[in-house]
Amino acid sequence: NAGVTQTPKFQVLKTGQSMTLQCAQDMNHEYMSWYRQDPGMGLRLIHYSVGAGITDQGEVPNGYNVSRSTTEDFPLRLLSAAPSQTSVYFCASSPPEGEQFFGPGTRLTVL
Amino acid sequence: DAKTTQPPSMDCAEGRAANLPCNHSTISGNEYVYWYRQIHSQGPQYIIHGLKNNETNEMASLIITEDRKSSTLILPHATLRDTAVYYCIVREITGNQFYFGTGTSLTVIP
């Protein structure tokens, strides 16, 4: 099993550009989440999903959209990138009431 | 509001036990205590979790006080590879949202 995979590993955007961060898992987990981690900080929850077709907001959802059309995939969309969104983004998946498995992260810089 | 409080940093001599404290004084009866660690800038790695009993696995032991208001993660024989940021997280039994604090940066010294 590949576990949780994220693409791209690195990305540089200009202010105002849009992009989608990809996240996929092959463990058939119902739960998936997106976090961001700013330098010297812990992870903050952006959005999460408890199953295909169901998403909800976390602590810091503004500026991000998500959708969950399949169990395996949970993309994160930045509609109009801002320098404040420069961060490392982690995706995670878990079974109900189980531990979360994290991907390797995407390092995003917005100029 | 932060659900957990941890010291920002700690040192431990290689080969000795590392004891990492966590305060979660507002924990409710339907919340677990989870511990994760993050090495460099990798994705966090699960260590252990518990509800009210002490737990042990191949990586660590988790000691939860009887009133459940605090816990201690114990790495019995710390190695240099245990240098990482350790996060203590409180999570509802039926929910799946993990709220990370700023964690404890553990440095294992040769």
Instruction: Report pLDDT digits (tens) over A11-42.
Output: 999 999 999 999 999 999 999 999 999 988 88
pLDDT of B2 over the 70 cut: no
**pLDDT over 70, % of chain B:** 95
pLDDT of A88 over the 90 cut: yes
Cβ contact (<8 Å) for B96 and A4?
no
DSSP classification of residue A40? T
**Chain A partners within 8 Å of B96 (Cβ):** 31, 33, 48, 50, 94, 96-97, 100
pLDDT of B63 over the 90 cut: yes
CB neighbour list of residue B23: distance below 8 Å, 6 or more residues apart: B4, B5, B6, B69, B70
DSSP strand pairing (B9-13 vs A101-102)? unpaired
Q: Where are the alpha helices (DSSP H) in chain B?
A: none
As a whole number of angstroms, the distance between CA A63 and CA A82 comes to 9
Cβ contact (<8 Å) for A4 and B103?
no
pLDDT of B28 over the 80 cut: yes
